[in-house]
Amino acid sequence: MTPINEPLDGIQARIEELQKSIAKREEQIKAKTRKLKEEIEAELSPVRIVEKYPFVVTTVVFAAGLLLGKAVRGTRRSSAPMGQVHCAPVERAPSRGENALSAIGLEALRSAKELGFACLQRYIEKKIT
């Protein structure tokens, strides 16, 4: 009876060995994935990007603020061809939604400006010391 069990024992041992190998590889993959995730998060964090490229970020934020301000305020000039007679524009009071959107845009611009200047100041201090 032992000769019949020997192949089964060998197969069972091989199965257990493969399961251990799979579990070991799974842990290695999980560890590498965690490490990669942490590296990507560290590299793509907003603070890291601002510290790495302070001038570019400041320029982009400034341009975005200008575009946001222009979009919030809208166009106030009319570009009519010469020779046309214009009536005096009717003054309308801005709606509450426009006022709220304008306030949000201005607050976002101020916050971005403060963040940009703080990071620029830290960058300059690091370069000096």
Residue 94 phi, psi (nearest 5): -65, 145
Share of the chain above pLDDT 90, in %: 17
Q: What are the tens digits of pLDDT across the range 20-49?
A: 999 999 999 999 999 998 888 877 777 788
Closest CA to 53 of 40, 43, 41: 43
In a domain, 57, yes or no: yes
In a domain, 89, yes or no: no
Q: Which amino acid is at 30?
A: K
* Residues 20 and 64 grouped into a single domain: no
* Residues 9 and 25 grouped into a single domain: yes
* Residues 3 and 23 grouped into a single domain: yes
Domain with 55, as residue range(s), is 45-73+97-129
Q: What is the pTM of this model?
A: 0.37
Number of domains in the chain: 2
